[in-house]
Amino acid sequence: MKKIFINILKRVRLGFNLLVVGLLMTVFQTAQGQQAGEVKDQEFIIRKDRVLTLPTQPRKFERIPALPTPKSSTNFNYEVKPFFLSLPPDDIKTEVFQKNFPKEDQDYFPGFVRFGLGNYSSPLLEGRYNVWEDSNYDISAKLKHQGFYRGPVDGNNSAENFTNFEASGTLFRDVFQAYGGINYDRHQISFYGYDPTNPDFENFVTDVNVLNTVQVKAGIQNIDKMDGLNYNAMMRIRGFNDNFQASENEIAFTANSDFWFDDYLKTAVNFDLSLTSPSDVFYNDINRNYFKINPYVGYQNESLLIKAGINLVFENDITSNKKSDVHVFPMVNGQYMLRDEIGVFALFEGDVIRKTYYDFVMENPFLGPSEQLLNTIQNYKTGAGLKGKLLDEFTYEAGFTVGKYRNMHFFANSLTDSLRFNILYDEITDVLNYTLKVGWEYEGWYKLMANADYYYYSLGSLNAAYHRPEWEVRINNQFLPTKELMIQFNAHLMGGIQGFNQQNEFSQKLPTILDLQLKGDYQITERISAFVIGNNLLNRTNQRFLNYPVRGIQGIVGATLKF
């Protein structure tokens, strides 16, 4: 409607403009028809009543009618129904993708044999064989015999030899592995701790003792240690006896389990059960039981490591200085690395250290009949120190520990037979230990591992820490100058050992032990290599136990064959 009205106004304006233009043209033509300079009379008639009219145009004012909005009577409600198809899942068979990497031309040999011979009539025979062709299991067997049929005192009177056989295997499954094995050890020694220059011992024949040990073990553990729950459980049965009246049977069970809440926090518990039945000249038909449970919580990140828990121990040794068979001790230790170059560590722990007759005789093979077997009660052990790594090659650790112990064991020559040793126990022993450890690896061809310890003993019932060193140093060097040659040069130093003979109540400080050892192995071919071993290169008369000098300078040469 508005557009129509605007069009009408435009037309009226156009007509009026045409009329005005026509009048102007008439006046302009009349003026041009007169002569120049001529004035004529003009008459203008003005009519006031004249009115310009325009014809009336029809106009429509009706509005466009509003059409009704269409409405639907249909109800749009959609119902979604699940459709289950009884189709079997796709069986996708995964296969290992073979990448075309170049394969090194290297053979792996499942077995080897080693032969050697040296002075002191010392043959060496060693062999090992592994079966790993089936990926579900592996089996291995090892045999070693080394004899020293002549010794440092009166030749055959100080002979010694070792024999070891071991067979083990592992069965692998998807999430766990089962393992087990059998081990047999035979150690033959002679009680040669006498003075061969004494005429009373002319044509003396020493007693020979044979230590026999058979162990059978079986266990199970999970394979993926990245899981939240990890476990390892093992059962061991051990039988031990010698040529005299000492024997000991043990049934032991150990288990370890931990659960990781995340990458940093875990909780764990360790079990240790030992049931032994030892027998000797002075005791028989006794049962020494030991059970320990160690729950703890641990936290670890890039710089902090901390572990806190308790040691709950039950043991039934009969002693006069024990209040109860149950012991509860706290345990906490941790370390904090300020940088890779330096960090601090500290510990505090109480415990009961399990000691069996087998443990004692492995430490001192010249042990005679024992009167009593006791565990060591560690009332506490605390200490602190520094550790770090320098230049990605040199590692170090330095610290100290202070501890208080009950029934700590020492050795002394027997009152009835000076060729054998007895176990002596101290009621209360304070031990201060300073320790230093260093390691260095240089460009892959040289490795150094060294540690030094100093001990100070404050004793209760004994006069000295008999047959325990005051200080000890171990240095191990390994050189790899070429791919075929490996050289090891080691040193073991020990000093401040106080010996004690109960038969004459004679106490003696033993000379410092200095043992230098050299080993070399040269690979001739892929299957054959030659080796040389040298012990006590300074030919010193070292004594670890009173009246028992060790063998002098000794060398063994031999070869190894792989097959």
The per-residue pLDDT for range 177-234, each reduced to its tens digit, is: 999 999 999 999 999 999 888 888 888 999 999 999 999 999 999 988 877 899 999 9
Pairing verdict, β 122-131 and 137-148:
antiparallel
Asked if the model's pLDDT at residue 274 lies above 90, the reply is: yes
- Cα separation, 160 vs 147, in Å, equals 6
pLDDT tens track for 418-430? 999 999 999 999 9
* Concatenated DSSP letters of 345-381: EEEEEEEEE---HHHHHHH-TTB---S----EEEEEE
**Cα separation of 120 and 551, whole Å?**
8
| pLDDT value at residue 525 | 94
For 334-346, the pLDDT digits (tens) are: 999 999 999 999 9
CA atoms 51, 57, 58, 60: torsion sign: negative
Query: Distance between CA atoms of 166 and 240, rounded to whole angstroms?
Result: 16
CB 448 within 8 A of CB 438: yes
Query: How many other C-beta atoms lie within 10 A of the C-beta of residue 416?
Result: 11
Distance CA 50, CA 71 (A): 62
Contacts of 217 (CB under 8 A, 6+ apart): 180, 181, 182, 183, 234, 235, 236, 237
Tokens of 127: 């062999």
Query: Rounded distance, CA 212 to CA 184, Å?
Result: 8
Question: Could you count the other beta carbons within 10 Å of the beta carbon of residue 309?
Answer: 21
Residue 36 to residue 503: CA distance in whole angstroms: 176
Count of beta carbons in the 10 Å neighbourhood of residue 521: 15
- What does each C-alpha distance from 198 to 151, 203, 347 come to in angstroms? 18, 11, 52
The whole-number pLDDT of residue 444 equals 87
| Mean pLDDT to the nearest integer, 353-369 | 95
Percentage of the chain beyond pLDDT 70 is 81
Q: Name the band, by pLDDT with cuts 50, 70 and 90, for residue 10.
A: low
Residue 29 tokens, joined: 């033509």
Instruction: Report the mean per-residue pLDDT for the chain.
Output: 86
Q: Per the structure block, which two tokens stand in for 20?
A: 């005005």
- On whether the CB atoms of residues 343 and 330 are closer than 8 A, the answer is no
User: Which percentage of the chain shows pLDDT scores above 90?
Assistant: 72
Q: What is the pLDDT of residue 201?
A: 87
pLDDT band at residue 72 using 50, 70 and 90 as cut-offs: very low
The residues near 169 (Cβ < 8 Å, ≥ 6 apart) are 137, 138, 139, 140, 179, 180, 181
**What SS3 class is residue 19?**
helix
Helical residues (DSSP H) of 232-316, grouped into ranges: none
* Rounded average pLDDT over 222-251: 93
pLDDT tens track for 386-397: 999 998 899 999
For 435-468, how does the pLDDT look when each residue is reduced to its tens digit (9 = 90+)?
999 999 998 899 999 999 999 999 999 999 999 9
pLDDT of res. 30: 45
Here the tokens at position 241 are 């006896």
> Are 191 and 160 a contacting pair, CB within 8 Å?
no
Please choose, from the candidates 521, 519, 518, 516, the residue with its C-alpha nearest in 3D space to the C-alpha of residue 550.
Answer: 516
The Cα–Cα gap between 148 and 550 comes to: 12
CB-based contacts of 451: which residues, under 8 Å, 6+ apart?
435, 436, 437, 438, 473, 474
> Is residue 537 packed enough to be buried (19+ CB in 10 Å), middle (13-18) or exposed (0-12)?
middle
Q: What is the pLDDT of residue 76?
A: 45
Structure-derived torsion over alpha carbons of residues 244, 468, 538, 195, reported in degrees to the nearest 10:
-50
Residue type, 469: P
- At 305-330, the pLDDT tens digits run 999 999 999 999 998 878 899 999 99
Q: Which long-range contacts (CB under 8 A, 24 or more apart) does 177-181 make?
A: 177/220, 177/221, 177/222, 177/223, 178/218, 178/219, 178/220, 179/218, 179/219, 179/220, 179/221, 180/216, 180/217, 180/218, 180/219, 181/216, 181/217
DSSP label of 74: -
Residue 67's pLDDT is: 46
With a CB cutoff of 8 Å and minimum separation 6, the contacts of 433 are 383, 400, 401, 402, 403, 453, 454, 455, 456
What pLDDT sits at residue 203? 86
Residues 327, 331, 332, CA angle at the centre, nearest 5°?
A: 170
pLDDT at 51: 55
| Confidence at 93, pLDDT banded by 50, 70, 90 | low
Higher pLDDT, 31 or 380: 380
- Phi/psi of residue 241, nearest 5 degrees: -160, 165
Indicate the pLDDT class of residue 168, thresholds 50, 70 and 90: very high
pLDDT in tens, 116-139: 999 999 999 999 999 987 678 899
